[in-house]
Amino acid sequence: MDNRLKLKDKKRIVIKVGTTSLTYPNGRIDLKRVSNLAWVLTDLRSGGREVMLVSSGAIAVGAERLKLAERPAEVKGKQAASAVGQAILMQMYENFFMQYNQVIAQILLTKDVLEDETRKLNARNTFFTLFEMGVIPVVNENDTVSVEELGFSENDELSAYVACLTDADLLIILSDKDGLYAGGDPDVNPNSVLIDEVSEINGDIIALAGETKSKLGTGGMATKLVSAKMAVDNGIDVIMASNRDPSIIFKILDGEKHGTLFVS
């Protein structure tokens, strides 16, 4: 059976959106995209799927609220901005999901939680209980208490951990790139071709990532591939697709060819 058609049956899904998916370059929230994300996720949930949202954006939104000229470079500045921004982010999600009567929950994780068996089990049980209650967990790193060297390198990695922790069937990473390209970053090389499917994330595939990085977010294609590999190695399919219109998720789950599929 076509690997794309198998996506129709995916039940437990992690959707990761980065800062660039949620905010304008000036750090203000892109309401249209967030609003669309809320109805798409609610609709998936209503259709019987268990969805989790891994959302960045706390630092950028906090920096904007604090009227900082740019994203702080120092750890304590990032932590302070995140402490301000995370609350705003959740308030915004709450407002949008409320329109569809969808209950959401905030889960803030640190890497050490997932490396400790007891704490990991507790976190896992919380996710499962929320699924039973019909709630959509919204996950971010607990930036204020996470030590940079020991934390997740970025939320791509966090999303792979969450997918593994919850035995997800699929991880969808939305970003400002349409997927993985052969020929490098399509913004640099217009002749680059989008790869439809990758059956093994090996050195040759990782080499295709190059140095692409976004200005507001922290991740690039290389970190996405390393995170995708972690998920794939744990039996979870991964899709990387464009963040332009969140309803692309419906098309992907319908078996249409969008983005790049990394087959587990």
Footprint on this chain of ligand GLU (rule: CB under 6 A)? 18-19, 56-60, 82, 140-141, 143, 154-155, 217-219
User: Looking at residue 213, what DSSP letter applies?
Assistant: B
Q: Which is nearer to ligand GLU, 158 or 232 (CB)?
A: 158
- The distance of closest approach from Cβ of residue 85 to ligand GLU in the complex, given in angstroms and rounded to an integer, is 7
Q: Which is nearer to ligand GLU, 84 or 195 (CB)?
A: 84
Q: Which is nearer to ligand GLU, 56 or 212 (CB)?
A: 56
- The distance of closest approach from Cβ of residue 112 to ligand GLU in the complex, given in angstroms and rounded to an integer, is 15
Q: Which is nearer to ligand GLU, 132 or 149 (CB)?
A: 149
- The distance of closest approach from Cβ of residue 189 to ligand GLU in the complex, given in angstroms and rounded to an integer, is 25
The 8 Å CB, 24+ separation contacts for 201-209 are 201/225, 201/228, 201/229, 201/232, 201/262, 205/180, 208/180, 208/181, 208/182, 208/184, 209/180
Q: Which is nearer to ligand GLU, 155 or 166 (CB)?
A: 155
Q: Are 179 and 259 in contact (CB under 8 A)?
A: yes
Q: Which is nearer to ligand GLU, 106 or 192 (CB)?
A: 106
Q: Are 14 and 249 in contact (CB under 8 A)?
A: no
In order, the DSSP letters of 73-133 are -SHHHHHHHHHHHHHHHHHHHHHHHHHTT--EEEEEE-HHHHHSHHHHHHHHHHHHHHHHT
Count CB-CB contacts under 10 A for residue 23.
23
- The distance of closest approach from Cβ of residue 95 to ligand GLU in the complex, given in angstroms and rounded to an integer, is 18
CA atoms within 13 A on the CB side of 220: 12
Task: Please report, as a single letter, which amino acid is at residue 66.
Answer: L
- The distance of closest approach from Cβ of residue 60 to ligand GLU in the complex, given in angstroms and rounded to an integer, is 6
- The distance of closest approach from Cβ of residue 138 to ligand GLU in the complex, given in angstroms and rounded to an integer, is 11
Q: Which of 254, 263, 228 is nearest to 43 (CA)?
A: 254
